[in-house]
Structure 1
Amino acid sequence: MKVKQTPTGNFINGNEIIAIELTNNKGTYVKIFNYGAIINKFIVKNANGEMQDIVLGFENVEQYQDEKYLENNPHIGAVIGRYANRIKDAKFEIDGKTYELEKNAGPNSIHGGVEGFDTKVWDVIDIAEEPQASVTLQYESVDGEEGFPGNLIVDLTFELTENDELILSYEAETDQATAINLTHHGYFNLSPNGGNLSKHKLQIFASNCLEQDAEYAVNGKLIPVANTPLDFTKPKEIGADWDPEEGYDQTYVLDKIYGDLSLASKTIAEDSGLILSIYTTEPVAHLYTSKYLRATNGKNGKDYTGFDAFCIETQHHPNAINISDFPTTVLQPEGLYTQTTIYKVSLNK
């Protein structure tokens, strides 16, 4: 197992962006930037014996900071915080006090606001090569940042195992009651040459999804997926039942015991023989097939566009801060936020 840190020479507010590389003894390789806790590369051996990168991204970290890219920020490969997905009407109440957020998705707030955790330089606080290659990043979000209350300290550990598992372990503490809902926004494509993902076979272990309004904000109601295009309880091609102009942008409530680490989804690409299995302690997984993805000059000079990748965003229920029937997303000063999500890569033998 190997861990390597490489300074990029790129600074934001005096903080240098570092590239951290994790490599296991099989040659599986993950490159992470402490800017946005971005997973920049995730390279594995496919069934054809080729080393293949399964995540979208850019060749250098400066491209993630490009003004044009950030105008329609797709959050490629980055951590999302303080709050994943949409908070309806960009406001919430805790202990009788209302907090107003920036409206950056129509009338709603999305993915932590205008400058969420995906645009912050995190501190590298620990690296290790044994028992597994790992790095721990830390970010302190100050009271009032993007409208959220409390000073929040978040630790995120990336650990690469010999079984080709990339484990993301989150912890967070606050000095004031606050809203928190973290996720990671990796864009995956398991085909050797990338491109449209409609032929990927997907299974999501969820019998229900969340109803949402025209602005994609959930309203607290569950929709059974049986006998609808939303049904992925059995493996099927992503494009089998979709509207090819819309794809999927839907939150699935996982069939699981709350808090248990269990299998959320499994995705297979026949042309590479790769399987991506995602395990999580979180109660929901948001499926996004990248309808709005627009990014130029990605890896190998490729331009990324709609339906070039899929995201499985493990998290708590979106807008739960405003819906009392959902599992709480309020973190108290005496509490500890924890989450584990695992990306496991294997071969379809």
Structure 2
Amino acid sequence: MKYTSILYASGLLLLTMACKQEKTQEPIIEDIELMIKAEKVAEQDGQAVFHYVLDNGDMQVEMTNYGGTITKIITPDKNGKKENVILTFDTVEEFLTKSNPFFGATAGRIANRIAKGEFTLDGETYKLAKNNGPNHLHGGNVGFNKKVWAGEPYSNDSTIGVKMTYLSVDGEEGYPGNLESTLWMELTLSNTLRIQFEAETDQKTIVNLTNHTYFNLTGVKRNVLGHEFQFWADAYTPVDEGLIPTGEIRDVKGTPFDFRDPKILGDQVEANGGGFDHNMVMKMEKGSEMKHFVHVKDPESGRVMDMYSDNVGVQFYTANFVSNFEGADGKIYDRQWGFCLESQNWPDAINHKNFPSPILNPGEKYEHTIEYKFSVDE
């Protein structure tokens, strides 16, 4: 592994690496260029906001330490044409000034919804912001998606990435305890975007962190109803009219939630009355085993995305509330123009004793890993 690192006065950090790998069956030496760019583009709350670009020679991932946000994923189609495959803005600066439905963001302290904006720990009731009708959503009015994380680029023999940290102080958005969170977002030589979370607290609290990227494997040319989905999920958690789980764990058999065999999304959306915003059950108990959750393909472009995680569920959201939204490249995003696969604990788990617990105690470590692997099916 060879690498050079240059820091320019303008605030642009460029790190390139040349990896020579010998193939096992052919005596051919392949040069693979890994590159990280880090450029300061703004300031928010007195802190520097950076735009990062990770490039493995075949695909690129762009991100920012504002909100721990993925801002672009550029991948080739079956003809080698590289295009962005997520809903986003043209620039990082727009994330600071324009409201958006959590494009690419880190959601926390608690991703998803908490019923009536409150929960109880050891007999004490904590009141949270009701920022989604009568309920609490994605950490409140100023959640982790609106915080500037401390960022540090890094690399090893096969990976380039950015490590980010954020301290959420006791009482922030109503949550108890000082919570130190660490986020790694990295790109591998195998075209895998890996996201890892860790968190520790000094007081009993609740934690559920995820990434909220909206994917569109067409290259964001149209809606995603033509995508083919397969979920390895035998159950889901039904919701009420406010999208709060009822507490039931229901078998997917005979329902529009049965993606155990590949299904065209548009057919299932129609069968479900307009879209999905539901937790698909992947595990009944927490564990460190990585599980293949979802396989998605856009037949026209040939792009494929496989999702893996060690968590217990994934919120499957089909952009039902996106409407006439002006996004990057002058495109107007509408309903079903993207889909989210938010690996996480089950929604409103703190208020359901039969759900996996989101409680984190002092001395414990919250850990969560997500992988999105991109490929092409000819």
Give TM class, smaller chain. over 0.9
CA contact (8 A) 2:62 2:71 kept: yes
Cα pair 2:36 2:153 within 8 Å, conserved: no
Distance 1:189 1:323 in 2: 33
How far did residue 133 of structure 1 move? 0.6
1:17 aligns with 2:32: no
Q: Give the drift of 1:126.
A: 4.5
1:340 partnered with 2:373: no
- The Cα shift of 1:52 comes to 1.7
User: Quick one: distance in 2 between partners of 1:339 and 1:185?
Assistant: 14
Matched with 2:31 is none
C-alpha displacement of 1:219: 2.4
Offset of 1:79 from its aligned partner? 0.6
Q: Match for residue 301 of structure 1?
A: 330
Question: Aligned to 1:219, what secondary structure does the other structure show?
Answer: coil
The answer to whether residue 41 in structure 2 is matched with residue 2 in structure 1 is no
Residue pairs, 1:42-53, within 5 angstroms: 42-53=73-84
Give the Cα separation in 2 of the matches to 1:60 and 1:192.
17
Do the aligned partners of 2:283 and 2:311 also contact (CA within 8 Å) in 1?
A: no
Unaligned stretches of 5+ residues in structure 1 = none
Q: Distance in 2 between matches of 1:176 and 1:55?
A: 37
**Structure 2, unaligned stretches of length 5 or more?**
1-33
1:53 CA drift (Å): 1.2
Q: Which has the higher contact order (CA 8 A, sep 6+)?
A: 1
Deviations 1:202-232 (A, max 9, x none): 0111011001111001122111111111211
Q: What amino acid is the match of 1:159?
A: E
Structure 1's 14 and 193: CA in aligned 2 closer, same or farther, altered over 3 A?
A: closer
What is the one-letter code of the residue matched to 2:278? Answer: Q
Instruction: Give the Å deviation of 1:11.
Output: 1.1
What is the TM-score with the length of structure 1 in the denominator?
Answer: 0.95
Closer/same/farther in 2, CA of residues 334 and 295 from structure 1, 3 Å limit: farther
The aligned residue for residue 315 of structure 1 is: 344
Separation in structure 2 between the aligned mates of residue 6 and residue 216 of structure 1, nearest angstrom? 39
Q: Which has the larger radius of gyration?
A: 2
Alignment of structure 1 residues 256-335 onto 2, 5 Å:
258-259=286-287, 260-294=289-323, 296-335=325-364
Question: What is the deviation of 1:130?
Answer: 3.6
Are the aligned partners of 1:205 and 1:255 in contact in 2 as well (CA < 8 Å)? Answer: no
Partner residue of 2:155?
128
Question: What percentage of residue pairs aligned between the two structures are identical?
Answer: 36
Measured in 1, the distance between the counterparts of 2:359 and 2:255 equals: 33
**How has the CA–CA distance of structure 1 residues 256 and 331 changed in structure 2, closer, same or farther, with 3 Å as cutoff?**
closer
State the shift of 1:96 in Å.
1.3
Deviations 1:260-310 (A, max 9, x none): 101110110011101110000010011100011146432211121111000
SS of alignment partner, residue 200 of structure 2: strand
**1:41 aligned partner:** 72
Q: 2:266 aligns with which of 228, 239, 245?
A: 239
Structure-1 residue corresponding to 2:108: 81
Deviations 1:170-224 (A, max 9, x none): 1101111111101100000001352111110001110110011110011221111
Instruction: Write the distance in 2 (CA, Å) between the matches of 1:324 and 1:245.
Output: 30
Query: What is the TM-score of this pair, normalised by structure 2?
Result: 0.88
* Letter matched to residue 7 of structure 1: K
Residue of structure 1 equivalent to 2:277:
249
Map 1:140-219; keep pairs closer than 5 Å.
Answer: 140-219=167-246
- AA of the residue aligned to 1:117: F
* SS across alignment from 1:93: strand
